[in-house]
Amino acid sequence: MTVSVEQVKKLRAATGAGILDCRKALEEAGGDFDKAVEILRKKGAAKAAKKAGREAKEGIIDVYSHGGGRIGVMVELNCETDFVARTEEFRHLAHEIALQIAAMSPRYVSEEDVPEEVLEKEREIARERARAQGKPEHVLDRIVEGMINKFLDEVVLLRQTYIRDDSKTIRDLITEAIAKIGENIVVRRFVRWEVGGEETD
């Protein structure tokens, strides 16, 4: 069963699940959209598209260039109303998030975006490393879990420590803005380019 890019995009937009999870679900469902959504729900890969029933469909795209044009970032930050999207506070938040992405090179917006196969590979590496260090078998699971959490703190934007204040994460920064502004705020997506490097999104 060949799955088109458009089908994957549509499923991702509807569920918020990772690209690979969406592709697998569509293949498993034989291209049936509703069945694919159900598969993702059962696997726990689908996340809520709305927060407290409130959709964030307005917003802005912030573009940031760093290091004399050696690093470029584009981030889409969404809110509920066009009014909020035009405020200085909201634009400043988008810019701060773009700076964070430039400096810390996250690979995913949230934990839900990290493909299961990536986590599985990291678990294998962590387990082998712990065994090589002579750690006893009965503590391996706890060690692996700790290493996975550390990995997620590095590669997931919302879990990263905010570069301007190490007492908070990017999720905390956004939560504070939601409380202040009174609207749901969502980092929809981002892309980071580096001269001579690979694109990350």
201 burial via Cβ count (<10 Å: 0-12, 13-18, 19+) = middle
- Give 51's pLDDT tier (boundaries 50, 70, 90): very low
Task: Answer yes or no: CATH 3.40.800.10 is held by domain 58-110+156-194.
Answer: no
What six digits make up the tokens of 161?
Answer: 């420590």
Which helix H or strand E contains 129, and what residues bound it? helix 116-132
pLDDT at 45 over 50: no
Q: Tell me what pLDDT residue 132 has.
A: 83
- Give 197's pLDDT tier (boundaries 50, 70, 90): confident
Superfamily per CATH, domain 5-43: Ubiquitin-associated (UBA) domain (1.10.8.10)
pLDDT at 16 over 70: no
- Please state the domain extents for the chain: 5-43, 58-110+156-194, 115-150
Q: What pTM was estimated for this model as a whole?
A: 0.67
